[in-house]
Amino acid sequence: MNETQPQRIAIIDLGSNTNRLIIMETQLGFSYRLVDEVREVVRLRQGMSEAGLSDEAVIRGLSTLRLYKDFCEQTNVSQILAVATSAVREAANGPAFLDRIRDEIGISIQLLDGEKEAYYDTLGALNEVPLIEGVVLDIGGGSIQLSDVQKRQFIQGSSVSLGALALTERFITRDPISGKEYRAIEKEISHQLDTVHWLPEKQEKPLVGLGGTIRNLALIEASQQKYPLYTQHGFILKRSSVKRSIQLFRELPLNERRKIPGLSSDRADIILPGAVVVLAVMNRLQIGELQVSVNGLREGVFFELFWSHLDPPIIPSVRKFSVLNLARNYFYEKQHANHVSFLAGRLFEQLAPLHGYGKNEREILYAAALLHDLGRIIGYSSHHKHTQTLLEYNGLPGYTPRETALIALLSRYHRKGHPEISDYKLLLKKKDRTILNRLAAILRLAECLERGRNANITDTITTWDEEQLRITLIANQYPAVEIWQSNRNASPLMKEAFQKEVKIDSFSPPQN
């Protein structure tokens, strides 16, 4: 499967304000990566009347889509998946507009009703976040979508007209907003949320949030915290932080809001009502935080194709796939990575009585073992540090920020150096120091045992007493290189981690 040529899939999202095109390079069901992105402000909603989209908006829409079509053809896109949302949905002439696009340009655009839009949001989120039960919230320009998730499935969804741009246009005339305007927005939100009959109240359902407003609220918080990862996968946005941001947006005039670190300056004018929506939903669900999903509608549309052999198209284990996808995108050395992972796993299991760790630590070790060498794509020298950087940049959907930090550190220390948590003090707890030391020792030993990159060590036997930890290697041929490297590079860390002298030897069958 990984031998076939990747194909390029375009996803077009014709929104109220912006028309977005992304291109995924993918082997369906195997791996994908974003390889291009174009964004054009089309303002479809501008001048909309009872008759629907204005002639000017229609012309702007057609001309952008014609360019997108040309662009897709020029860049060998094999398939275009296109959807239209609230502006086209609400316009009387929306269907006629889509017919013109199909006839004149040759792009078939699927018109999403509110529930279908919520469905795709949820596909995007569930393929990134290991949510089982809860609510998914997407705040757009025109509308917001809420989805009900149970047993990792989309159950139902609703769209209401609480988009950040829509509320701004309808309610805000002062800068900064007046108290009266603010209360009017709160009232409107409350009123509209009441219409979402299935929305659980005071039930402490986990909430996942997506869309630009929520990502920006997270970026503001990340910037204040000096958050050490560059990705927002799995970022936890607390209610107290949303409240602080709202307070700031209410106090500062636009030109000051634009300077808030983390906030994109072109969103400073409309972010307040979006933040109030987030707070209102949190209050209704009686929860203190939400988890950010970087994926949303466009990714959901893509995943329907990518996971088309699954029904519903939702990956059962987000973690496992996100590790593999990253490894594949960075051309990992599969055999070496798998063998290090195997040996690390064996050592982990055999040493379980000494460390007492379970499934979660095992999965952290698995990810680090599979990914530890990715940085070689940047360069051999300091490749352990490059792997750390790549993990900070990409994140690992399905793993929490704390777990991602541990995986980055395990990779960082797989060759040398004494494991330190200082880079990620914000994310790690005190006990993580011990977890890091032990897992780093195991990973470094596994790496040394596979230093020849030829799977010479087929298994290990681990025994110990009060004083000594003895690791006996089962090898295809006498493991001179592996013992040399292990004694030199891994034994000191093993000794420190397990507080025993370490002896590494090789199994010789009894002589007859």
Q: Which residues form the interface with its own copies (CB under 8 A)?
A: 33-37, 66-67, 70-71, 74-75, 330, 376-381, 390, 393-394, 451-454, 456, 480-481, 484
CB of 105 to its own copies, least distance (A): 12
Min dist CB 74 to its own copies, Å, is: 3
CA 34 vs. chain centroid, Å, equals 13
- Which residue lies nearer to its own copies by CB, 393 or 507? 393
CB of 9 to its own copies, least distance (A): 14
Do 94 and 88 meet the contact criterion of CB atoms below 8 Å apart? yes
Residue in the block written with tokens 């050592």: 347
Contact present, 78 and 9 (Cβ < 8 Å): yes
Nearer to its own copies, 20 or 376 (CB): 376
Comparing CB distances to its own copies, the nearer of 68 and 498 is: 68
Please name which of 19, 62, 63, 20 lies closest in space to residue 43, comparing C-alpha atoms: 19
Smallest distance from the beta carbon of 453 to its own copies, in angstroms? Answer: 5
Distance CA 11, CA 408 (A): 31
Q: Three-class SS string for 31-91? A: EEEEEEEEEEECCCCCCCECCECCHHHHHHHHHHHHHHHHHHHHCCCCEEEEEECHHHHHC
For residues 191 and 453, which CB has a smaller minimum distance to its own copies in the complex?
453
Write down the least CB distance from residue 335 to its own copies, Å: 12
- Interstrand relation of 468-475 and 457-464 (parallel, antiparallel or unpaired): antiparallel
- Rounded to whole angstroms, the Cα distance separating 463 from 242 reads 52
- Nearer to its own copies by Cβ, of 187 and 259: the residue is 259
Residue 484 CB, nearest distance to its own copies (Å)? 5
Least Å distance between CB 380 and its own copies? 5
Minimal distance, residue 487 CB to its own copies, in Å? 11
Structure tokens at 479: 């493991």
Q: Which is nearer to its own copies, 438 or 451 (CB)?
A: 451
Nearer to its own copies (CB atom), residue 248 or residue 378: 378
Helix axes 239-251, 271-285, angle to 10 degrees: 150
| Minimum CB distance to its own copies, residue 488 (Å) | 8
**Structure tokens of 105?**
């340009």
CB nearer to its own copies: pick between 282 and 391: 391
Structure tokens, 16? 């109220």
Q: Which is nearer to its own copies, 252 or 481 (CB)?
A: 481
DSSP string covering 169-223: HHH--SSSPPHHHHHHHHHHHHHHHHT-TT--SSS---EEEESHHHHHHHHHHHH
Whether 300 and 121 have beta carbons less than 8 Å apart is answered as yes
| 115, 156 contact by CB (below 8 A) | yes
User: What is the number of other CB atoms lying within 10 angstroms of the CB of residue 93?
Assistant: 18
